[in-house]
Amino acid sequence: MPSYLHSHHLSTRFQALDQFLIEHQQLWKPRPFTTLRLDWETTHPELATHLRQCSLADAETDSAADALPAPFPQLAQQAQQLTALGSLPQTDLPPAAHRLDVAVPGRKWQQIEAFASHLAFHHQPRHWLDWCSGKGHLGRRLLQPGQQLTCLEYDAELVAAGQALSAHHHLPAQHVHQDVMASDSACHLAGEKSVVALHACGDLHVRLMQLASQQGCRQLAIAPCCYNRIAVQHYQPLSTAAQASGLQLSLDDLGLPLSETVTAGARVRRQRDTSMARRLGFDLLQRQQRQRDEYLPTPSLPVAWLEKPFEQYCRDLAELKQLPLNGNPDWAALEAAGWQRLAEVRNLERVRNLFRRPLEVWLVLDRALFLEEQGFEVRLGLFCDYPLTPRNLLILAERDR
């Protein structure tokens, strides 16, 4: 069983991941969806040929890594070793008060329970601060007799709903209508708060870490998500180690850890496949028409567009992109080629996908190392199993003041 990471293990693991990601950049940075031929196909022809012959169903099951040509099995094994992480220690969190989970979707409640039962701080928190709290379900779940709770949220309806729920349960909670990106958000972090942030997106949790370091904040528990929701075009490393790294990350790269589709049902999957096959078919058409071997970004389209015959779909999309269509395109052939490309893209993406978790752990370690530089004692581990939420990494940071 792997264990969670702390102290010098954080930087050792970061350096190993950094090296792995840099060494194999050409395997995970280019996207098969937008590039007809990937550079690495020349370096690994056997693997490329094999993957291009696999079916859509093969990509879907994504099994038998061992049976694929080199270097796939070796990379899969390395990625697994480099991302091995154990659970953080569990606490004996008292059971939730009666009916506290009413109106919380089942899955969300399970995530909250898991998060709340892994906050093994050395000192007993006195005042919880729920950062980007939504209705504040997590904060309420944590609140014990003698403690206080402040919830920060910028959606006024969620603030009101949260306040009503806390009042209903007679809890000493204050729900504050606050944009955490605004300059006045720092004041909420003063006074030895224990801050929790469950799935606060990109900039929102980064802002928390920066402010918390400057303020007197004692304890932090952060489960990051949406690494690509940032205001700038390129990733800004936080720790000295990541600042020294040669790895440059674009918004596209930052989306890689979030690209898995865990829970879609059959109908949604079919819709997604059709939409992508059509886009890929249109992509072939636009390359012919523009006589440029270059991807043309297209906007997301209403699902109803999938009901249109393929020719109409392409004509409407071409009009939207102000692309004049000449000659007599072979619509049936293009549509079939789109499906064929979908199978190839999905299978080639299996290589890229090997780097999803390594990149995510690299990003989270950057956060962990930053907090350590700021004087926190940091632990990084899991708070729940992957199927409950793929964003299952938790940073616990604590310092004495």
Ligand X SMILES: C[S@@+](CC[C@H](N)C(=O)[O-])C[C@H]1O[C@@H](n2cnc3c(N)ncnc32)[C@H](O)[C@@H]1O
In the complex with ligand X, the residue whose CB is nearer, 205 or 346, is: 205
Question: How would DSSP label each residue in 315-331?
Answer: HHHHHHTT----S---H
CB of residue 204 to ligand X, shortest distance in Å: 6
CB of residue 88 to ligand X, shortest distance in Å: 17
CB of residue 356 to ligand X, shortest distance in Å: 20
Q: Which residue has the tokens 């581990």?
A: 381
CB of residue 130 to ligand X, shortest distance in Å: 7
Contact predicate 357/83, CB 8 Å: yes
Strand pairing partners for 223? 198
CB of residue 256 to ligand X, shortest distance in Å: 19
Strand pairing partners for 153? 177
Q: How many CB atoms lie within 10 A of CB 306?
A: 14
**Chain positions contacting ligand X, by CB under 6 A:** 108, 132-134, 138, 152-155, 158, 179-181, 198-200, 204
In the complex with ligand X, the residue whose CB is nearer, 156 or 304, is: 156
CB of residue 149 to ligand X, shortest distance in Å: 13
In the complex with ligand X, the residue whose CB is nearer, 48 or 196, is: 196
Please enumerate in sequence order all residues whose Cβ is within 8 A of that of 365, keeping only pairs 6 or more positions apart, or say none: 5, 10, 13, 14, 17, 239, 380
Distance CA 188, CA 180 (A): 10
Nearest to 68 by CA among 80, 55, 56, 54: 54
Q: What is the DSSP letter of 190?
A: T
At position 45, the amino acid (one-letter code) is P
Contact predicate 227/363, CB 8 Å: yes
Indicate the burial class of 166 (C-beta count within 10 angstroms; 0-12, 13-18, 19 or more). Answer: buried
In the complex with ligand X, the residue whose CB is nearer, 138 or 314, is: 138
CB of residue 176 to ligand X, shortest distance in Å: 10
In the complex with ligand X, the residue whose CB is nearer, 176 or 251, is: 176
Kindly list the distances between the CA atom of residue 212 and the CA atoms of 97, 136, 195, 243, 345, in Å, as whole numbers in the listed order. 30, 20, 9, 20, 43
In the complex with ligand X, the residue whose CB is nearer, 13 or 199, is: 199
Contact predicate 287/293, CB 8 Å: yes
Rg (CA), the chain: 24
In the complex with ligand X, the residue whose CB is nearer, 198 or 361, is: 198
Nearest to 308 by CA among 265, 276, 266, 278: 278
In the complex with ligand X, the residue whose CB is nearer, 111 or 245, is: 111
CB of residue 179 to ligand X, shortest distance in Å: 4
